[in-house]
Amino acid sequence: MIRLRVNGKAASFDGDPEMPLLWFLRDRLQLTGAKYGCGMGLCGACTVHLDGEAVRSCLTPMNAVAGKRVTTIEGLAVKGDHPLQKAWEAINVPQCGYCQSGQIMQAAALLAKKPKPGHADIDEAMQGNIWRCSTYQRIRQAIQQAAGVKS
């Protein structure tokens, strides 16, 4: 039995320990914010936090989360009012929105480590998150707004 905490609540899993965390979150817990993108950890659509670190849930097996804390976009802020979520909306970052939860979770991990990131910090942290809508500048601007950093 694998025991963990998801968005502050106790959870357990008694199945294939190699099953990706993404499927546990989406199929078992009905937390569908993390998306399946490439299945190889390259796009970032499935990004969640594992003990505060951004990880690709499509590559993270359930046996690696035993005794750990998982935070999904649904658990980032109870009312969906995290500074990043507010900035994303204010700046109108998303287009289709498919990759946005992964983008926000990656950015939240960055701000937790570096509360006032510069352009290079943001570019480095976000480079593993791919999006097709080309809102790169708006994403950077939203991260800076959430951090209270002028662009």
Strand partners, 3: 12
23 with 64, same domain: the answer is yes
90 with 129, same domain: the answer is yes
Final residue of a structural domain among 52, 76, 100 = 76
| Among 113, 109, 105, 111, CA closest to 144 | 111
- Beta-sheet strand order (sheet of 9-13): 9-13, 2-6, 69-71, 47-50, 53-56
18 with 59, same domain: the answer is yes
Count of helices and strands (H, E) across the chain = 6, 5
* Domain count for the chain: 2
pLDDT in tens, 93-103: 877 777 889 99
Domain that includes residue 51, residue range: 2-76
> Where do the DSSP E strands lie in 30-129?
47-50, 53-56, 69-71
Final residue of a structural domain among 28, 44, 76 = 76
- In this structure, what token pair is assigned to residue 16? 């294939």
pLDDT of residue 135: 78
**80: how many CB neighbours lie within 10 A of its CB?**
11
pLDDT of residue 44: 93
| Among 100, 41, 82, 120, CA closest to 21 | 41
CATH of the domain at 46: 3.10.20.30
pLDDT of residue 151: 61
Final residue of a structural domain among 27, 50, 76 = 76
* pLDDT beyond 80 at 90: yes
- Residue 114's identity, in one-letter code, is K
* pLDDT beyond 90 at 86: yes
66 with 10, same domain: the answer is yes
Region 103-117: mean pLDDT is: 95
Q: Cβ distance 80 to 89 under 8 Å?
A: no
- Residue 53's identity, in one-letter code, is E
Region 130-134: mean pLDDT is: 73
19 with 64, same domain: the answer is yes
Region 10-38: mean pLDDT is: 96
| Among 58, 44, 147, 22, CA closest to 103 | 44
95 with 58, same domain: the answer is no
CATH of the domain at 93: 1.10.150.120
pLDDT of residue 128: 84
